Structure 1
Amino acid sequence: MTVTLSDEARQYIGAFEEETEATAVDCLVDDEFDRLVFVVKAGEMPKAIGEGGETVQHLEEEFGRDVELVEDAPTAEGFVANALSPAAVYNVTISEMGEEDETVAYAEVAHEDRGVAIGKEGRNIKAAKELAKRHFDIDDIQLT
């Protein structure tokens, strides 16, 4: 699936890649929660985070926004699990249902991590849903 980026997102990705030397495949500009969510190429998270998280901290100072990272994955199931991180996700099942053939990801999350998966004011689950839609055409994510 092709992700279309705004000019603003492309500028953030350019600055991110220059600072981290990691590849960002997407950038969600979330004005509601004043943050940027970068989807980082699989295997490049250590470069993106930096030792002790120093690279992310520097980016937050540079951008004046919170910076969050999601590791890309080759499958929809892996991507949804990564998008809900750091919540412990045991299993993700993708199914199509309803008259409209809506694609829904059912994520089995540890009971004690449901709050982490949802996030304050729903911020984590909202970002996961938007990114899953953009990358795998998933219409909804349900926690089980």
Structure 2
Amino acid sequence: MVRRIRLTGNEMRYIALFENLTGELANDCIIDDKRDRIILIVKPGNAGRAIGRHGSRIKLMRDMVQKDVEIVESADTPIEFIKNSFSPAHVKEVRITERLDNRKVAVVTIDQRDKGIAIGKNGKTAERTRLLAKRYFGIDNVIIV
């Protein structure tokens, strides 16, 4: 179940800029000041067009906002959404369990060759996935195995 999301004025401005530059609609925008990045959520199948040939559209936006810009495709299920968040890493399996203390945990099995991609530099991709899983599906932790 996707949760209700409120956007700040800055997030709405970044969405408007993104849509003007790429011609693609963004469903959500998260400003991550800790990592100096903007995470944009687009409809399934639209990430490639939003990024542009050789990353041209995203590079243009990155230059304009002076922040890293990341694109994640949305999904209806938490399993697909987590897989999309780890892209381009090959996700073998996602298991979502509820612990005795009612906390939801996603255990993600990643192809051994892609673990570095899945974790990201200084854990930024893993952190992004945790942030998005919590925001959209109330999953408290994402564990990579």
TM-score category by the smaller chain?
over 0.9
Residues 95-120 of structure 1 deviation map (CA, whole Å, 9 limit, x = unaligned): 11122x11111111011222211112
3-state SS of paired residue (2:94):
strand
Match of 2:37 in 1: 35
Identity of aligned residues (%): 36
Q: Is residue 128 of structure 2 the alignment partner of residue 127 of structure 1?
A: yes
- Cα deviation for residue 142 of structure 1 reads 0.7
Q: Where in structure 1 are there 5+ consecutive unaligned residues?
A: none
3-state SS of paired residue (1:4):
coil
Q: Is residue 118 of structure 2 the alignment partner of residue 88 of structure 1?
A: no
Q: Which amino acid aligns with 1:71?
A: E
Q: Where in structure 2 are there 5+ consecutive unaligned residues?
A: none
Alignment of 1:54-93 (within 5 A): 54-93=56-95
3-state SS of paired residue (1:80):
helix
Residues 39-65 of structure 1 deviation map (CA, whole Å, 9 limit, x = unaligned): 111121122111221111111111111
- Cα deviation for residue 69 of structure 1 reads 0.7
Alignment of 1:16-55 (within 5 A): 16-55=18-57
- Cα deviation for residue 125 of structure 1 reads 0.9
Question: d(CA) in 1 for partners of 2:30 and 2:128?
Answer: 8
Question: d(CA) in 2 for partners of 1:3 and 1:133?
Answer: 12
Q: Normalising by structure 1, report the TM-score.
A: 0.93
Q: Normalising by structure 2, report the TM-score.
A: 0.93
Question: d(CA) in 2 for partners of 1:96 and 1:48?
Answer: 35
